[in-house]
Structure formats: C-alpha cells, structure tokens
Amino acid sequence: MKTLVAQARSQFLALNQIVNGQSLVYLDSAATTLKPLVVVERLQRYYAYESANVHRGAHYLSDRGTENYENSRLQVAQQLGAESSDEIIFVKGTTEAMNLVAQSYGAHFLNPGDEILITEMEHHANIIPWQMIAQKNNFVLQAVKVTPDGELDYEDLRKKLTPKTKIFAVTACSNVLGTINDIPTLTKMAHDVGAVIVVDAAQWISQEKIEVKKWNIDFLAFSSHKLFGPTGFGALYGRKELLQKMPPYQGGGNMIAEVSLEKTTYNDIPFRFEAGTPHIAGAIGTTTALEFYNQFDLNEVRKHELALLKAAEEKLKSIAGIKFFGRSKTRAPILSFNLEGIHPSDVGQVLDQQGIAVRTGHHCNQILMNRFGIPGTVRASFSIYNNESDVDRLYRGLIKAKEFLS
C-alpha cells in the first residue's frame, strides 16, 4: 500500500509546494482532484503541437485531433460499461449534463402534473435544473428524505416513488455525507413504476466500477476533474433509444445535418448535442486521466482511502465538541464535521494558515444543510495521494483551531 501511495504522490507536483510556510496537505479532492504530471504534460503537448479543430478538417492536425477526440469518447464508453460510444455526449461537466437531460428530455416528454423525484442529499446541480422545468411546465418536484445517519429513507422513497413519477434523479454518492447509494437497486425501483433514472456520478466515478448497460441505467453523468482530469469537461451517458428521440439542447455548428433559412435538420447522436467547437484538450486530457487511474487496483485504492477515513474519524472523535455528519455503512472517503460553537468557515481559515486545504460551507446543498439545521460543515476528503501524515496534520490543525477560536 505504501508503494501505491508513493507511486501516486510522485505524480502530483502540487504536493511539493509550501503554503503559508508549511508543506501542503490537500484534503479537498471531493471538490476537485489534483492533476498528475502525465495529464499536465499531455495537455501541454496538445496545445504546443496538436492544436487544431476536430471533424471535417482537411489536414493532418485536424485528422489527428479528431482521432484522439473520438478515441476519448470510446474510452469513456468503456469506462462506464456503455454499449456504444454513440451513447456518450461530451459536456462541460455534470452540471451541464443534468441541464441537458432536464431540457431535452424532461421538458419535452413529461406532462403537467407529472412528478420528478430527487433526494435531500442532491448537489444543486441535480436540484435546480429539475426545479426550473417543474416551475415552467407545472411538473411536481418532490424530495426523498435523508435519515439522521445520512442514508436515504427507503420508507419515504417507497411512498414517493409512484407511477406518477416520470424522472428519478439521484446522486450515486453524496458530496457532503459520503453516502454511496445502491444505484442498481434504485434503478430497478424506478423502472418498476415506469420512471427514468438520472444518476449524478460526479463523486461515484472514483469509487466503484460503473456498469450502465448491465444495470440498465437511463442517464448518468460525471465530471473529469473529479478523476484527475481537466476542469470544464465531462460526459453524459444516455441510453441510445432515449437520446435518439431527444431534441438538441443548443444550436450551432457540428450539431446539424442541413441548414436552410426555412428549416434545419439535425446530426445523429451524439453530435446533435455537441454544438460548436468542443473542449478538445479536455477530451484528450480525460483519456490520459483514465489511463492514469486504471493503472491502479481499484480495490487497493478504495481500501487505502477508507483506511484514511477511518483513521481520521478515530483521531478526530477525541476532540471535544466535534460532530460528524454522515454515518452510512457504505461511504466514500468524505468526512464532514463541525466544531461546537465555531463557524465552519473560521475553522477552514485557521487550517489554511497551517497549509491544510479543506472545504467549508454548504457544499452546494442547502437543502441538506437545512435538514440538519446547520449553515454548513467542514469537509475533508481523501484521495490516492493522501497518507497517514495528512490525517495527523488535520488532527493537530483542528486542535489549534479549537484553541484559537474558542
């Protein structure tokens, strides 16, 4: 395990820097992972030597770029267990993917009075798009409750997931609680009442092997920057039979077949959903990020990250007045907590002064914060490049923060 971590850490130059006079401890991977050197170098090579637009080019650089771009689509399809690369739409990230499904599927195939079901643990990216189309089209938006331990309330789910439900939009892994939901079971439950399931896999993509075809998932999205890749790039998976009947989300170049002043006919999937010049470097960088990630044994990585989570909980629970949020049996390496009587933002600032990077605030989930009656939390999240020393630094940093802020 130490060899695995050492091998990984050597790729992340950001960890070599000094922040506020101390070596950096990066515990904010749930927000975005650091980028390995292989990804940085691949992006540099693309911009230095390969920069050209893709599709329809008549020269070497364009042909090469198109080949690399479409190869990335194939790699993502394989990563997600999709049947075809035609089912992979490139987007800016999970947020755009959810908006695309809401506007191109939800707004066109639901009727007034139909219900959309989300949960209290959703990121705003999986709340607001549904809220927008519900308000505009007179759909009914409901949310499944979360238990005090941070798990879905299945009793409440069974009450609210009915034949009136046409879309069930759910996170596979909570970015606040770390809770990993049973997506195969939730997919079957949705299909049993005739609903389409939309899965936010932004946090899940780094935790488990995903099998969209095997589990019969309808839509699933992730962001590359959560998996060591570039920002501003992600992918939406959609079942082909659903994508083929959906209208375009945006208009412009590349998404068309023929254009006249009177009418436009649209390109085949997935291109009809990819208007304009795409994030070519993002696709190429994502391919390299997937290659980097897949070189490791996922079971070993998960074992390492969960060991750090357990170690952090054990150390931090000795701090008087600490309260944890999220106690699910199946979790990602995400630890949310508060110190009694101290605002989470103040804790984050004192930790930063010690070179420790955490996230504070509502984490784009004010509904969940309201559920627990708090303004926000401190969140520490672990990845492959973290080690036991980082846990010790976090513990000592919190002791100092408590002494300074009490």
Active site residues: 364
Q: What is the 8-class DSSP label of residue 102?
A: I
Distances (CA, A) of 156 to 115, 140, 152, 181: 15, 16, 8, 15
d(CA 331, CA 44): 36
How would DSSP label each residue in 334-354? EEEEEETTS-HHHHHHHHHHT
Residue that the structure tokens 């749930």 belong to:
30
Residue that the structure tokens 């101390």 belong to:
22
d(CA 65, CA 87): 20
In sequence order, the 6+-apart residues with CB closer than 8 A to the CB of 11 are: 36, 37, 38, 292, 385
In sequence order, the 6+-apart residues with CB closer than 8 A to the CB of 22 are: 354, 355
Cα 296 → chain centroid: 20
Q: Determine if the peptide bond prior to 270 is cis (ω within 30°).
A: yes
Helices (H), 46-93: 60-80
d(CA 166, CA 116): 6
φ, ψ for residue 198, nearest 5 deg: -120, 120
Sort strands 88-91 and 234-238 into parallel, antiparallel or unpaired: antiparallel
Helices (H), 214-372: 240-243, 280-294, 298-316, 344-353, 366-372
